Amino acid sequence: MKQEKIPYKINLTENEIPKSWYNVRADMKTKHRPILNPATMKPVTPADLAPVFCDKLISQELNDKDSWIEIPEEVLNFYRMYRPSPLVRAYFLEKALDTPARIYYKYEGGNTSGSHKLNSAIAQAYYAKEQGLKGVTTETGAGQWGTALSMACGYFGLDCKVYMVKVSSEQKPYRKAVMETYGATVTPSPSDTTQIGRKILADDPDTTGSLGCAISEAVEATVTTEGYRYVLGSVLNQVLIHQSVIGLEAKAAIEKCDEYPDIVIGCAGGGSNLGGLMAPFMADKLAGKKAPYFIAVEPASCPSLTRGKFAYDFCDTGKVTPLAKMYTLGATFIPASNHAGGLRYHGMSPILSQLYHDGYLDEARAVKQRDVFDAAKLFAKVEGLLPAPESAHAIRATIDEAIKCKESGESKAILFGLTGTGYFDMAAYMQYNSGMMEDYVPTDADLERGFAGIPDVVEA
């Protein structure tokens, strides 16, 4: 029904939470290349993955046939505690920019974990519980994933072991405290609790850690502990499936206002929030029904889509994980330690990588962190929400697109993902406010060092 004036908050009812996730992979014109077992260099089989991942999650990971996957009742019930998340018309931001653009954002930071990561954490914990496992291990970078998983495991009574990138655990002690409150064990990574951690420390005792290295430790801890499986908060196909709940809700809400986005913008670390937000809109594009313009925004200091290679690579530094064909900076790449804005992973979701390679994901844009925090500050002032630095990458691109609309006089509808709250990122905001924040853009030579570690894979 057409509404006179689109409200500030476009709310769905509880009954409008989707009952199924959408698996965009089933509808892609070109499927991404299979992930490979590093021991055989053959496509991984469910049996290869069984020691590492939960069985149901393996079938989701490998599923390129079913467009819709039913959300289990227990997961749906948990979603009811904090979903539907609001879709907000950013009237105040539009006014501040004096733009004819109509800006909408889907806010995922309203739950205690503070980000969209809970959407997948609760699903993954549910399948682990259903399988009768004792616990799960994982890594966390900035801490959002570890926090979300701790909450989900606390809810289902599962053990949760988190390897947290060392520099983050030092910068964000409160994240650790939240995880511990929910019952998780948090180990700064690299640590001396795993073989790979000891090796990484021996090679570089002063390392501040990286996601790739924490993944290696978490996987090792999994396969050496009875009754545990490994779970991951981004990059994987299963995570994009779970995060489709963001896009499905956003689409239902925006269509209620007789709107359809001309531009869809998301920040991209491993690609899960953007993959989830854009999935149902991508379905329209793949079906030739609509042609929204998709933009992935990444930090200039970790530019996997804009400057990376589309190649088979390991998902972790220790090279214990399967190989995925994706945009990558090389598994040994670590962004500069003064980079405060998150999104530090070296690779990108294989689904997003393929869509980008084929031109369905139209544009990747790298932005510098001071520009990102300028955008965060403006947004916080006018919209009243303090955004996570990751989310502020999407805000930056949204503001830039809205300014273009002002210049051209076009009134486009822009939808972006506001993935989280910035309350746990005050160290980064302090750095920005004190003028100490520096931009860092790796040189080609810096990137070459990462590329040198990408394995040579002859594709079948």
Ligand X SMILES: *Cc1c(COP(=O)(O)O)cnc(C)c1O
From 10, 184, 236, 268, residue interacting with ligand X (rule: CB under 6 A): 268
Q: Which of residues 407-436 bind ligand X (CB under 6 A)?
A: 419-420
- In DSSP notation, 7-37 reads -SEEPPPGGGS-SEEE-GGGG-SSPPPPPB-
- The piece of 167-175, 385-393, 434-442, 449-457 that touches ligand X (CB under 6 A) is 385-393
**Residue 273 CB, nearest approach to ligand X (Å):** 3
Look-up of token digits 């998150």: 342
Give, as one character, the DSSP assignment of residue 423.
G
The three-state secondary structure class of 218 is helix
Residue 146 touches ligand X, criterion: CB under 6 A:
no
Distance CA 403, CA 424 (A): 30
Secondary structure element (H or E) that encloses residue 46, with its range: helix 46-49
Among positions 152-191, residues that touch ligand X (CB under 6 A) are none
Q: CA dihedral defined by 396, 167, 142, 132, rounded to 10 degrees?
A: 160
CB of 271 to ligand X, least distance (A): 5
What minimum distance in Å lies between the beta carbon of 274 and ligand X? 6
Show the site string, 350-369: x = touches ligand X by CB under 6 A, - = not: --------------------
Q: Which stretch binds ligand X (CB under 6 A): 68-76, 124-132, 383-391, 447-455?
A: 383-391
Min separation Cβ 436 and ligand X, Å: 23
Interface mask (CB under 6 A) for ligand X, residues 386-405, using x and -? --x-xx--------------
CA angle 149, 155, 158 (to 5 degrees): 70
> What's the one-letter identity of residue 113?
S
- Single residue of 273, 301, 304, 328 touching ligand X by CB under 6 A: 273
Whichever of 99 and 168 has its CB closer to ligand X, that residue is 168
Asked if 308 interacts with ligand X (CB under 6 A), we say no
Is residue 116 within 8 Å of residue 419, measured between CB atoms?
A: yes
Residue among 111, 137, 144, 431 that touches ligand X (CB under 6 A): 144
Q: Using CA atoms, how far apart are residues 186 and 206, in angstroms rounded to an integer?
A: 20
> Residue 65 has what DSSP assignment?
S
Query: For ligand X, which is the closer residue by CB, 28 or 267?
Result: 267
Q: Which residue in 267, 278, 305, 386 binds ligand X (CB under 6 A)?
A: 267
Q: Does 147 bind ligand X (CB under 6 A)?
A: no
* Segment near ligand X (CB under 6 A); pick from 9-17, 41-49, 262-270, 285-293: 262-270
Cα–chain-centroid distance for residue 344?
A: 11
Q: Does 118 bind ligand X (CB under 6 A)?
A: no
Query: Which residue in the shown chain puts its C-beta closest to ligand X?
Result: 420
**SS3 assignment, position 263:** strand
Contact yes or no for 128/150 (Cβ under 8 A): no
- What's the full length of the chain, in residues? 460
Candidates 169, 191, 234, 237: give the one binding ligand X (CB under 6 A). 234
146 is written with which tokens?
A: 């570890």
- From 18, 135, 146, 270, residue interacting with ligand X (rule: CB under 6 A): 270
My answer on whether omega of the bond before 34 falls inside 30° of 0, hence cis, is no
Which residues share a beta bridge with 246? none
Applying CB under 6 A, the residues found at the interface with ligand X are 115, 117, 144, 234, 267-273, 343, 388, 390-391, 419-420
